[in-house]
Structure 1
Amino acid sequence: MTRRSFSRLSTYAAAIGLLAITAIKIAPSLAAEDAAIIPPPAADVQSANGIQTVVLAGGCFWGVQGVFQHTAGVVNAVSGYSGGSKTTADYQMVSTGTTGHAESVEVKFDPKKISYGKILQIFFSVVHDPTQLNRQGPDSGTQYRSAIFTTSDEQKKVADAYIAQLNAAKVYRKPIVTKVGALEGFFAAEAYHQDYLTLHPNQPYIAYNDIPKVENLKKIFAENYIEKPTLVSSIKVTN
């Protein structure tokens, strides 16, 4: 079921409870199947000083944000939109798939605590399936595409090289379709989308699709996992 299908169940409390319990029970087995254990990038950014930023798109931003909020060294992860103009950076408009935006997460990280390469390794491993074109799991449309919006030439070179490395090693059954390009704009999503995984852990879509991603982070990248998420609730998010 899609995210919208799950939302329509919100008026049926009993149904939600049953679905959430069922989803939680089957999620661990899905997690083991969906996560990919992959090698780290052969090359990494070497010249980073101070807090760095990269914007990542990998399906519904709820799960992408949730994973990076549980990642040590990430100082902020904000859900939003990239790839289109500010005038159409609105959830209802983006959901039509006609604005050019991708649901994205702006990841700010401290390179002294976590490298850009490790951010990419987590992104390609537990955050999403980079071989799915214009979709992710139950959600389809260009707004759910896989993309890396870079903030430096070095970031782009490392990302391109890593994709080539993973494709050459045939880590996945199909080629990676992730697009890499310079960030032209990031627009924070509406407040109700922020910290969504933490605030709604039993929502069926989250329980079924996204909680397993965080569990995979904890399992596969234990040294990079933090139990308490770094939330944006108390941070002023502006466009």
Structure 2
Amino acid sequence: MSREQHIARTFVELADTLVEDFDVIDFLHQMTVRCQELLDVTDAAVFLAHPGPLLHSPAPCDPSPSLQRVLDAACTEGPAVDAYRTTRSVAAADEAETAARWPEFAPQLQQAGYSLATALPMRLRQENIGSLLLLRTGSRPLNADDLALAQALADAATIGLIQARTIHQQHTVNEQLHTALQSRIIIEQAKGVLAARSNITLNTAFEALRHHARHHRIMLSDVAQDVIHNGLTPAPAPARSQAAAADPE
């Protein structure tokens, strides 16, 4: 396979997140492997933003202890953090500049045998999700072509991750709506059953269901299931003021 074919296949892989069993860890691992195959780098890692001031890196499969220390340090200082914060590519020209800019990150980088680190932002329009860190053992920074390709890979991965998250959120919303609809139907059925069983109004039956659920700290839909299937007959709710006893529906 030619390099051009390899690049084309990689972009297809990074776009393939519209699957039901999408695995984000496997996706990120493949991303780092392709960076090693296509770019003049020794190792690569993706850093993702999460609540709080730090980045998080789903580590490559079976990282060496020295690489893991580099990744741990890179979560709080170094080019990965700077690329995420500035949304621009970040690199030092040599080891001396690396040590001057990142005094805590640089020793871990050198002890692991790396000489240079470059990071690129992972951003789509106003959505900033993290950065891509590239580690090298050579003495020269990445050339312009490799840097451009690395940014293109980071962009493609960003689009894939945001796309997968959006679809997952949509599925979650649909599931929540379906659950809410089913719960509403069950509660309405339980109101009717309880009203007929106890010879009370539908509103009074609902208040009894609601009071029982709150008193026992369980879901209203679970109480309704017990009324329908297990013969539960909740006690009437305590009397309330006329304003508070308004129809809850």
> Which is strand-richer, 1 or 2?
1
Shared fold (TM-score, shorter chain, > 0.5): no
Higher helix share: 2
Which of the two has higher C-alpha Rg? 2
TM-score, normalising length: structure 1: 0.25
- Report the TM-score when normalising by structure 2: 0.25
Structure number with greater CO (CA < 8 Å, separation at least 6) is: 1
